[in-house]
Amino acid sequence: MIASLPLFHRVAGQPVIVLGEGEAAEAKRRLVERAGGVVCGEEAEARLAFVAQVDPELVVERLRRRGILVNCVDRPDLCDFTTPSILDRSPVLLAIGTGGASAGLAKALRLRLEGLLPTTLGALADALGAARGALRARLPDAGERRRALDAALTAGGVLDLLDPNSVGRIGDWLDGAEGQKEGVVEIRLRSSDPEDVTLREARWLGSADLIAHEAGVPAAILDRARADAARILIATGAGVPESAGLVVVIRT
């Protein structure tokens, strides 16, 4: 189970309360302004608030009574939400959080990823967005579109997301884009450790339309699948129902 629900909250043009003085409060003001929000005081009609004060309990209580979600600096016990370390490849944003446990760890991970992700990643996202209509016309089925894109973006694929030259190949890829074939693939677990799932099996899980699994498959394994993939429980050794799309069977 995850401790928080990761969300991207749009605040452009919206009031956001920021209370406090000093560098911690200034950092929150800069963050809000970077996202286009309007920094306001306590009485503003807002949905979010940042508090960077000594003895913040009373002001946090007042804000919560008004239905405002609060982030309280260095007090995870008083936080309704936490602020992640942000890796910006706009429009691609990676938000790295530790639930308030260690901002330093989140920052170190962001810096490590900064060196791995090319600056062209945002341009690739923009180009894919512009190509959505053409891809939909070529592959009307949503499952086929998703599987074709999955195959293209994978390591070594024609649109490998770590290759800075991928954005220049989108036109050629669209001309020949094909959906990955439907069918049934089987994963037989070697252990209950999700780290034992191979890269190929991880790709299947990420592309599946239906996950059919035997009892006893750990939640940590199932969580590797697409969140919106349908799931059914099957008896040990049983087959799976006829189903359109890519079906992944997980056996213990």
Q: Which residue has the tokens 């920094």?
A: 39
Q: Over 80: is that where the pLDDT of 241 sits? A: no
- DSSP letter at 76 equals G
pLDDT at 177: 75
Using the predicted structure, report yes or no on whether residue 179 has a pLDDT greater than 70: no
Share of the chain above pLDDT 70, in %: 97
Where are the strands (E) in 160-252, listed by range?
A: 183-188, 210-214, 230-234, 246-251
- Sign of the CA dihedral running 214, 220, 225, 226: positive
pLDDT at 12: 97
Query: Distance (Å, rounded) from C-alpha 137 to C-alpha 130?
Result: 13
Between 1 and 180, the more confident residue is: 1
The encoded tokens of residue 133 equal 């209509």
Instruction: Count other C-beta atoms under 10 Å from residue 111's C-beta.
Output: 11
75 and 25 within one domain:
yes
* Cis amide prior to 91 (ω within 30 degrees): yes
The secondary structure of residue 69, as a DSSP letter, is E
CATH of residue 89: 3.30.160
Q: How confident is the model at residue 150 (pLDDT cuts 50, 70, 90)?
A: confident
Same domain, 98 and 63: no
Identify whether residues 22 and 36 lie together within a single domain.
Answer: yes
Give the residue from 181, 157, 178 showing the smallest Cα distance to 169: 157
pLDDT confidence of residue 244:
66
pLDDT band with cut points at 50, 70 and 90 for residue 238: confident
Look up the domain containing 19 and give its range. Answer: 8-83
Does residue 242 register a pLDDT over 80? no
pLDDT at position 116, please? 93
Residue 28 placed within a domain: yes
Distance CA 124, CA 200 (A): 24
| In a shared domain, residues 12 and 79 | yes
Q: Is the pLDDT of residue 176 over 90?
A: no
CATH number assigned to the domain comprising residue 30: 3.40.50.720
pLDDT in tens, 17-28: 999 999 999 999
Both tokens of 174, joined, read 């669209």
Domains: count for the chain:
4
In a domain, 3, yes or no: no
Residue 181 confidence (pLDDT) above 70: no
Residue type, 213: H
What is the helix, strand, coil percentage profile of the chain, to 5? Answer: 35, 20, 45
Mean pLDDT of 119-123: 95
Q: What are the tokens at 206?
A: 């990420």
Q: With respect to residue 1, please indicate whether it lies within any of the assigned structural domains.
A: no
At 142 the pLDDT is 84
Instruction: Convert the pLDDT of each residue in 36-52 to its tens digit.
Output: 999 999 999 999 999 99
